[in-house]
């Protein structure tokens, strides 16, 4: 069954001519039609275009000169612009928007012959923790379809976990790749800020957003990270010499690896069974020669509060363009202001409106210094604390999520939902690379193990993650309902 294989394994079959790119693509298209009604992971499926891309990929494969991901289907989060294909951001205000251009990360995949198989569901404009904020319905977790997959990239995580696509792309602003990866039992990687171009990503919070891969294992995630990374002159924050090199991925060792656990990421907020699984994983790594120590990073205690000032402030600015004039539908009223208010009021969802209001308030005259400026100061303090810790450590580790996948609708307290980002937010604050790897089960549901490293340590974090993955094993990876 092709759906059970990793991307690297499918690539090997393509190279050996055991299967064609069209057969691979059709296999996953058929599986989406059959299985996605259980999950609601896809908003758009590009059947005709995907098959046309598959035929073009096959020509490259037959020529013998092709990238390892040539002919591999990849699902795309629906906040990545795709020329001539709807990009909705799971919002009614962009329900029928078709971009005239393609995001750089997607274009890079098109250029190497990867197959863009469809656009995945998400929290509206990537604003949410459980993927219940989509205007087109919640996404369901393959491990238990009554549970949430995590957000905001829930559709992309489920696409890989439910084997609807071998790989997918998501975006991570405060944990939106790593959190759903943990809850769905797959690998999710957020590269260093600036190593993957944000051009064509519909912006949520521009200083925090980063595109990254979901995959069944670290090897596949590394292949996709390599393919989408690199300098882009269309993105002013894109770093020079930033392509992620994965040639040494499998040469790492756990012996002597220095790992630190901040007490602030291992407190009472962590579910006891999640804590137990994480501690067993740490014991496993210690037996393999890793050095693990506890430390304190006090600024983490302010991470969630700081994030929920900075991110809404940037969102308030970025979403001002969606006014019924330049993008999307317009609700006509008597007068421009009335039309503007009606369009945004009726077509934005409640979470988006909440964050716009919070952000606008934080940026308003008289409150800018008290809220936004102070939050940026705390952000700088947190970044400095992590950088000092990296002088003595290779990586900071923690559970990715304090809990396993919650029931859909099970958490109604908005502050409790936002507090679930505790472990993932610091990496976005400092622009650090961070990855979530499955490390076991609690309550028969996946638990994620997170590594966060210094800026530009992407190659090292992937190398270490590959070695850690081998130590953990993979027996529990596949949802039991598949």
Q: How many domains does the chain have?
A: 1
Taking the C-alpha atoms of residue 386 and residue 374, their distance in angstroms, rounded to an integer, is: 19
| SS3 of 107-172 | HHHHHHCCEEEEEECCCHHHCCCCCCCCCCCCCCECCECCECCCCCCHHHHHHHHCCCCCEEEEEE
The CATH code of the domain that includes 398 is 3.90.1300.10
Domain that holds residue 393: 1-482
Phi, psi of 314 (to 5 degrees): -70, -35
Give the confidence band of 3 by pLDDT, cuts at 50, 70, 90.
very high
299 has catalytic annotation: no
**Does 47 participate in catalysis according to the annotation?**
no
Does residue 323 have a pLDDT over 90? Answer: no
Contact in structure between 401 and 179 (CB atoms under 8 Å)? yes
Q: What does the pLDDT read at residue 338?
A: 86
Q: Lowest-pLDDT range, 12-26, 120-134, 328-342, 458-472?
A: 328-342
- The residue annotated as part of the active site, out of 81, 105, 152, 457, is 152
Known active-site residue 176: yes
pTM over 0.85: yes
Instruction: Please name the helix (run of DSSP H) or strand (run of DSSP E) that holds residue 117, with its range, or none.
Output: strand 115-120
3-state secondary structure of 316: helix
Percent of the chain, pLDDT > 70?
Answer: 99
Q: Which residues pair with 380 in a beta bridge?
A: none
**Mean pLDDT for the chain?**
96
Report the percent of the chain where pLDDT is more than 90. 90
Q: What is the pLDDT of residues 380-429, one digit of tens each?
A: 999 999 999 999 999 999 999 999 999 999 999 988 999 999 999 999 99
Q: Among 12-21, 47-56, 256-265, 363-372, which stretch is predicted with the lowest mean pLDDT?
A: 363-372
Q: What are the tens digits of pLDDT across the range 276-305?
A: 999 999 999 999 999 999 999 999 999 999
Residue 476 has what pLDDT?
A: 60
Q: Are 231 and 265 in contact (CB under 8 A)?
A: no
Number of Cβ atoms within 10 Å of the Cβ of 440: 20
Q: Which of 20, 77, 134, 190 is catalytic?
A: 77
Q: Which residues make Cβ contacts (< 8 Å) with residue 317, sequence separation at least 6? A: 359, 363
Residues 65-85 have a mean pLDDT of 95
Query: d(Cα 174, Cα 372) in Å, to the nearest integer?
Result: 17
pLDDT band at 264 (very low <50, low <70, confident <90, very high): very high
C-beta of residue 347 within 8 angstroms of C-beta of residue 406: no
Higher per-residue confidence, 162 vs 339: 162
Residue 366 has pLDDT above 90, yes or no: no
CB 93 within 8 A of CB 344: yes
Give residue 482's pLDDT.
67
Q: What is the DSSP string of 386-447?
A: HHHHTTT-SEEEEESSSSSPPBTT----HHHHHHTTTTTHHHHHHT--EEEEEEEEETTEEE
Q: Is the confidence at residue 327, as pLDDT, over 90? A: no
State the catalytic residue, choosing from 91, 116, 138, 176: 176
pLDDT, residue 325, reads: 83
Mean pLDDT of 202-227: 98
User: Which of 5-19, 58-72, 276-290 is predicted with the least confidence, judged by mean pLDDT?
Assistant: 58-72
- At residue 190 the predicted structure's pLDDT band, cuts being 50, 70 and 90, is very high
Flag whether pLDDT at 474 surpasses 80: no
Q: What is the pLDDT of residue 475?
A: 63
């Amino acid at each position: 069954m092709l759906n059970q294989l990793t991307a690297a394994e499918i690539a090997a079959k393509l190279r050996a001519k055991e299967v064609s790119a069209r057969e691979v693509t059709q296999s996953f298209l058929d599986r989406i039609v059959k299985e996605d009604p259980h999950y609601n992971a896809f908003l758009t499926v590009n059947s005709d275009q995907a098959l046309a891309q598959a035929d073009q990929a096959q020509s490259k494969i037959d020529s013998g000169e092709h990238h390892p991901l040539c002919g591999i289907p990849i699902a795309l989060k629906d906040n990545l612009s795709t020329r001539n294909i709807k990009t909705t951001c799971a919002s009614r205000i962009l329900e029928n928007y078709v971009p005239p251009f393609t995001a750089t990360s997607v274009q890079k995949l098109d250029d190497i012959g990867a197959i863009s198989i469809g656009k995945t569901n998400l929290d509206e404009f990537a604003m949410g923790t459980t993927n219940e904020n989509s205007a087109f319905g919640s996404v369901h977790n393959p491990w238990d379809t009554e549970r949430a997959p995590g957000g905001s990239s829930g559709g992309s995580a489920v696409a890989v976990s439910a084997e609807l696509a071998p790989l997918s792309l998501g975006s991570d602003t405060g944990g939106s790749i790593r959190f759903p990866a943990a809850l769905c039992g797959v690998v999710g990687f957020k590269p260093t800020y600036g190593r993957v171009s944000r051009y064509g990503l519909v912006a949520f919070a521009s200083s925090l957003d980063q595109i990254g891969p979901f995959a069944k294992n670290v090897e596949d995630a590394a292949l996709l990270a390599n393919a989408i990374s690199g300098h882009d002159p269309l993105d002013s924050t894109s770093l020079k010499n930033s392509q992620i090199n994965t040639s040494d991925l499998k040469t790492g060792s756990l012996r002597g690896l220095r790992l630190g656990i901040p007490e602030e990421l291992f407190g009472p907020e962590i579910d006891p069974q999640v804590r137990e699984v994480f501690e067993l994983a740490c014991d496993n790594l210690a037996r393999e020669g890793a050095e693990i120590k506890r430390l304190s990073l006090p600024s983490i205690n302010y991470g969630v509060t700081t994030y929920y000032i900075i991110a809404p402030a940037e969102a308030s600015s970025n979403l001002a363009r969606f006014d019924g004039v330049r993008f999307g539908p317009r609700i006509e009223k008597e007068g421009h202001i009335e039309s503007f208010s009606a369009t945004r009021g009726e077509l934005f969802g409640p979470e988006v409106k909440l964050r716009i209001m919070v952000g606008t308030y934080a940026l308003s005259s008289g409150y800018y210094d008290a809220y936004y400026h102070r939050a940026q100061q705390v952000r700088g303090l947190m970044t400095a604390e992590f950088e000092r810790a990296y002088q003595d450590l290779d990586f900071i580790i923690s559970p990715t999520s304090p809990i396993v996948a919650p029931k859909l609708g099970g958490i109604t307290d908005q502050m409790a939902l936002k507090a679930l980002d505790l472990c993932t937010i610091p990496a976005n604050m400092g622009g650090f690379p961070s990855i979530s790897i499955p490390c076991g089960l609690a309550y028969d549901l996946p638990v994620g193990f997170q590594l966060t490293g210094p800026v530009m340590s992407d190659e090292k974090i992937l190398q270490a993650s590959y070695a850690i993955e081998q130590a953990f094993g993979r027996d529990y990876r596949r949802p039991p309902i598949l």
